[in-house]
């Protein structure tokens, strides 16, 4: 009778596989180690340090005492901070919606195969290539009642024309919105134009055959297809809202009065001018909490959606 020999699985095989994985992944891990240390020490470390200082009585120099929520109580009793929070909310809603609407309209215009398409793309995207400081200075000149639009129209024979939003406390924040939309609409246009160029031409042919109005095709068919691009543009624009500082400084310095004060300027002023580190870091912590509270549901929804697709 023939004998069948059964060999036991080799124990060295899994060990060899583990050693191979270590050898292949070790160089990449070593290369990423400095970046990981920078993230942990500089980014996360500074974030935790900022939060810690918001619970102290630090003034000119940091102190490691503990005053609980005293700085947050002072913060929410501060009219300047409350005004800055209201302004950033107004700016964020109008800026993002304005950039999305105007950027979409510009993208639709260019997508019609107009003559000089490259020129139009360059002109519409050029403002985004400029810094917020340059944008702010340019619009500060243009909207200055004594130098810009108001003076120009009056010199043309309309002496009663008035456009003094820049120096009007009730309307000054909207001049920041106008400058911001002018700066950011080109980026939205470029992102949405790339999405429009990816729409299947057969959809348009089918819509024409069925007699569906063009505007209805854009609303019911094209916009849902552009959802990933719209989300991308919204995230990029929201980043600009959170760090809004230099545009305000260049245009109004937060004025007239505190009419265009924003949280980032409030933080910078208290850290470097008013020598109140604790109150400044408390405001920065509130900004962090606001950003996380907005992003967390969106990230969670994307995670659930991705898990559903994998399942």
**pLDDT, tens digit (0-9, with 9 covering 90-100), for 67-86:** 999 999 999 999 999 999 99
**What would be the CATH architecture of the domain defined by 79-252?**
Orthogonal Bundle (1.10)
pTM recorded for the entire structure: 0.83
> Residue ranges per domain, the chain?
79-252
**pLDDT, tens digit (0-9, with 9 covering 90-100), for 118-157:** 898 889 989 998 888 999 999 999 998 888 889 889 889 8
CB distance 186 to 103 below 8 Å: yes
Q: DSSP alpha helices (H): ranges in the chain?
A: 12-38, 45-53, 70-76, 79-110, 117-129, 132-143, 149-155, 172-196, 201-210, 214-217, 223-225, 227-242, 246-251, 263-272, 277-310
- Over the chain (311 residues), what is each successive 10-residue block's mean pLDDT? 49 65 76 81 86 92 91 94 94 96 94 86 90 91 88 89 90 95 94 90 84 88 91 89 91 91 92 89 91 80 71 58
């Amino acid at each position: 009778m023939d004998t069948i020999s059964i060999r036991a699985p080799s124990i060295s095989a899994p060990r060899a596989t583990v050693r191979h994985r270590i050898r292949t992944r070790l160089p990449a891990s070593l290369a990423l180690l400095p970046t990981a240390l920078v993230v942990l020490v500089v980014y996360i470390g500074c974030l935790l340090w900022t939060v810690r200082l918001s619970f102290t009585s630090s003034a000119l120099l940091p102190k490691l005492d503990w005053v609980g929520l005293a700085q947050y109580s002072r913060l929410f009793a501060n009219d300047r901070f409350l005004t800055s929070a209201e302004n950033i909310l107004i700016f964020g809603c109008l800026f993002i919606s304005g950039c999305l609407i105007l950027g979409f309209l510009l993208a639709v215009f260019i997508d019609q195969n107009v003559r000089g398409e490259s020129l139009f793309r360059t002109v519409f995207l050029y403002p985004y290539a400029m810094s917020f400081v340059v944008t702010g200075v340019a619009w500060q000149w243009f909207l200055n009642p004594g130098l810009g639009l108001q003076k120009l129209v009056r010199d043309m024979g309309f002496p009663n024309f008035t456009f003094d939003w820049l120096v009007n406390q009730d309307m000054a924040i909207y001049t920041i919105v106008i400058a911001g939309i002018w700066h950011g609409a080109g980026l939205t246009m470029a992102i949405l134009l790339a999405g429009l160029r990816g729409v299947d031409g057969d959809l348009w042919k089918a819509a024409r055959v069925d007699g569906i109005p063009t505007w209805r095709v854009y609303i019911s068919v094209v916009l849902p297809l552009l959802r990933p691009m719209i989300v991308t543009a919204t995230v990029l624009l929201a980043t600009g809202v959170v760090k809004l500082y230099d545009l305000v400084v260049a245009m109004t310095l937060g004025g007239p009065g505190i009419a265009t004060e924003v949280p980032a300027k409030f933080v910078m002023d208290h850290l470097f001018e008013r020598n109140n580190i604790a109150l400044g870091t408390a405001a920065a912590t509130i900004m962090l909490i606001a950003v996380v509270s907005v992003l967390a549901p969106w990230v969670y929804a994307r995670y659930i959606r991705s898990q559903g697709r994998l399942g």
